[in-house]
Amino acid sequence: MSDFPITLIFPPQAHFTQPYMGLACLKAWLQEHGFDDVEQVDASVQSYDHFLSADYLRWAVRRAEARGDLEQLATKDELPFADMDTFRTAAEVAVSGHVLAERVEGAKAVLRGQDFFDPAKYVPAARTLFHSLRIVSAAWAPTKLTPHNFTMAYSIDRSNEVLAATRDEDQNPYLDYFRTELLPAIVKRNPRVLGMSIIYGSQLIPALTLGRLVKEALPDCHITAGGGFLAYIGEKILKAPALSESLDSIVFHEGEKPLEELCRAVREGTDFKHIASLGYFTKNDQGETVGIKNIGGHPISLNEAPMPDFDGTPFDSYFSPEVVLAYDVNRGCYYGECSFCTLPTVIGPGYRTRAAETIAGHVKAMREKYGFSNFNFITDCLPPGMIRELPEELISQGSDIKWWCDARVEPRAYTKQGAERLYESGCRKLLFGFETAVPRLLKLMKKGQTPKRTLEVANNCNDAGISVTFYAMVGFPSETREEARETLAMLQENAAGTIGPNGKSGPLREVSLQTFHVDEVAEVFRDPTTYGVELLPDPAADLQLYHDFNANAGMSQLEASEMFDEIMAGLRQSLPLFHEDTFFYFTQKSHYFLHLASGHSPDEFIEHCKRRGVARQDELARTASGDALLDLEVVPLTGTCAIPFSYAEVTRRLAHPLARAARPDFLTGTYIPDLELRAAEGIGPVPSNPQKKLVLAYSPGSTEFVELSKDGEAVLDALRDSGSYGKLLQALGQPGGPERERLDHFVLGLHRAGLLFVPEHQLTAL
């Protein structure tokens, strides 16, 4: 071991499907500048692997059941909104927890292996992981851990709550995880500098939890942090000296040069006063802890920066069959005018790019070094020149990769020929900032584009075989419901599979929809009057980034939330990729792209997914016609439990826009108490089930929760005891007439719900 070990950590929580790029860039830079002992740790994916394990889930089930939530709620005459999520989770734990513990390792294996490409295996595996994380959340309730988010009952807007969350042994799952799994290795390595990259708000509490534990265990280790989220709130952290329990310094914006100089200062024992783009805690003359922010630094020459170094990345841990490597082709945004956008400011300083020749050479070298041929180019948008030059370099250098990235609508570059050349270079998916179909709003947003030209670009890309995704927004200041519905109509009219006036299928494959938020960096925040916005600051929120607001015209925030649900419902009807279970491929980053990279065209992928549904419908039809009815058996490990309230009704109410607005969203990650009160008033309580006539069933086959009557449970138990429906009829003396018709109807209903199945050998015989 060297005398100056450095550890770089990507803390929980972030997506678990592909490696994070920032650490690889920092590692490469530090090693090029004389620091040879640099370790990178993706603690986020490793924590998911830990939580989603059989042993951990068994422990989580025991801990959740010991809370006795279901028994306590059963004593209530009605279920108020505040208890609905607790009830739903407790019921799911009771009926599925032990089954999920048995199946979670197999589900991970499916997502990491070639079975990933079979929808009949992928969808149950994805559902199993989603449901398993509900079990983990139940053990630490009201904390929520999902594939896309981590929230606690603490606001990340307030430093005192963040600090309290880092100490909460009952609600913070990362305290135990860090102490048992991560901290021992860090202590053994004894790094002189530990750096954490915090790019999402969901990482703030876990990162500061780890920072505090490391500072307690290794007082001489310098703890620093950077990343996109701290570019927003870093200055506010420096004004909250209590957070010095978790951090010594903060790197603002681009991290390579400041981190290099910080490591050199720590190694040589010099002060930090002259390290540009660094903020740090120190003591003033009165012995008080204060935060100091140095002036910003100049950007590095990105084209001369080394190739990202992914050595040490736990490639086998990601929940994908093939690794997709991230690579930054540029930083910042060459356009930089959108009034709602903040990325050009926080990713600074300034806009700069690598040369197409450099990009092609790097990705070819990375493919040869690591053996992975799929890439996610990290960029806010490719400039027009790059759109033309990059494909030529990728092709001429024989890069032999498949790739996807975000893009800006540039009609002069995304011509028919330009799109074809992009496809030839390996481009399989592009995501464009569409935002809205309303020209008035596009002008207010300063997008510099029109719906007509956007569709022109989308059609050219789609015709070339590139899958097109639109980013869309609802609730921009002054937007009306009618205007939001104009956007929905345009999206639906141009959805893939919808034949337009020209006789062609629409180009649109995916829509990434967001509700509008006001944050402190955007132009809307700096000039609210122009946009008809009244900001509602919270004086107690000393780390606040996103601000509540009233719009003087158009929809309120709640109305925008309701419209979000309406638009999503419309998209589910119109977009093939959003139909039913296929939606999982959209929600998991890179999963849809991997099908495109493996050789499927966008249309072939949809047909591939449809075959699963067709096979299921064929099976149901054969069963209903009587050919396989008698062979139906109960899916192994199917369980049931009595429930004091209707699970179906509770789930329906939790999907209400008021309920969705009250829960922490993945962007802001905060609870808003007054919204919870409004949801409670607007949604109302669920009446009890005093006769206990309802049960909840969980089928490992369909990975679905199904509400049944007690009579339904009795039939299910009788089928399980008999072995099959045919044997049950024999035991009942082969009833006929109306009684047999009722039984057939009921059994077919259980089959449609996924609780019964036809054994494979019987299907083969048919």
Paired residues of 765 in beta bridges: none
Judge contact between 264 and 229, C-beta under 8 A: no
Summarised one tens digit per residue, pLDDT across range 685-729 is 999 876 668 999 999 888 999 999 988 899 999 999 999 999 999
Distance CA 699, CA 161 (A): 40
- Compute, in degrees rounded to 10, the torsion defined by CA atoms 581, 582, 583, 588: 110
Domain segments of the chain as ranges: 6-44+158-293, 322-600, 608-765
Q: What are the mean pLDDT values of the chain's consecutive 10-residue runs (766 residues total)? A: 90 95 97 97 98 98 94 92 93 95 96 96 95 96 93 94 97 98 97 97 97 97 96 95 97 95 97 96 94 93 95 96 96 87 73 94 97 95 91 96 96 96 98 96 94 96 97 96 97 91 88 91 89 90 90 90 91 91 88 96 92 85 86 92 94 84 55 70 85 87 90 91 93 89 90 89 37
| pLDDT score of 690 | 66
- Compute, in degrees rounded to 10, the torsion defined by CA atoms 171, 177, 182, 187: 70
Q: Which amino acid is at 552?
A: N
Summarised one tens digit per residue, pLDDT across range 345-368 is 677 667 889 999 999 999 999 999
Distance CA 628, CA 622 (A): 6
Could you give phi then psi for residue 272, rounded to 5 degrees?
-105, 10
| pLDDT score of 762 | 42
Q: Which of 32, 74, 611 is nearest to 300 (CA)?
A: 32
- 6 membership: H or E segment, kind and range: strand 6-10
Q: Which amino acid is at 226?
A: G
Distance CA 465, CA 561 (A): 34
Peptide bond into 691 cis (omega under 30): no
| Within this chain, domains 6-44+158-293 and 322-600 share the same CATH topology | no
Judge contact between 129 and 51, C-beta under 8 A: no
Give Cβ neighbours of residue 69 (< 8 Å, ≥ 6 apart).
86, 87, 89, 90, 141
616, HSE (Cβ side, Cα atoms, 13 Å): 15
Question: In 627-765, which ranges are continuous DSSP H helix?
Answer: 647-654, 657-662, 673-683, 710-722, 725-731, 737-752, 760-765
692 Ramachandran zone, left/alpha/beta (phi>0; psi -120 to 50): left
442 Ramachandran zone, left/alpha/beta (phi>0; psi -120 to 50): alpha
CB atoms within 10 A of CB 766: 11
Q: Which of 715, 710, 649 is nearest to 683 (CA)?
A: 649
Distance CA 756, CA 766 (A): 17
| DSSP letter for each residue of 251-306 | E-S--HHHHHHHHHHHHHT--STT-TTEEEEEE-TTS-EEEEEPPP-PPP-GGGSP
51 Ramachandran zone, left/alpha/beta (phi>0; psi -120 to 50): alpha
* Buried b or exposed e, range 175-207, using 16+ CB within 10 angstroms: bebbeeebbeebeebebbbbbbbbbbbbbbbbb
Paired residues of 279 in beta bridges: 250, 293
| pLDDT score of 521 | 82
Distance CA 322, CA 320 (A): 5
Tokens of 329: 């082709």
Quote the pTM value.
0.94
Coil/strand/helix, residue 53: coil
669 Ramachandran zone, left/alpha/beta (phi>0; psi -120 to 50): left
| pLDDT score of 692 | 67
HEC secondary structure over 482-531 = HHHHHHHHHHHHCECCCECCCCCECCEEEEEEEECCEECCCHHHHCHHHH
Q: Which of 168, 154, 137 is nearest to 48 (CA)?
A: 137
Question: Which CATH class for the 6-44+158-293 domain?
Answer: alpha beta
Q: Please measure the distance between the N-terminal and C-terminal CA atoms of the chain and give it in whole angstroms.
A: 66
Distance CA 265, CA 257 (A): 12
Paired residues of 518 in beta bridges: 547
| pLDDT score of 668 | 47
Distance CA 91, CA 83 (A): 12
CB atoms within 10 A of CB 675: 19
Distance CA 727, CA 380 (A): 62
| pLDDT score of 666 | 43
Q: Which of 266, 318, 312 is nearest to 39 (CA)?
A: 312
Distance CA 423, CA 427 (A): 5
Q: How many helices (H) and strands (E) does the chain have?
A: 31, 27
Coil/strand/helix, residue 681: helix
322-600 placed in CATH 3.40.640.10: no
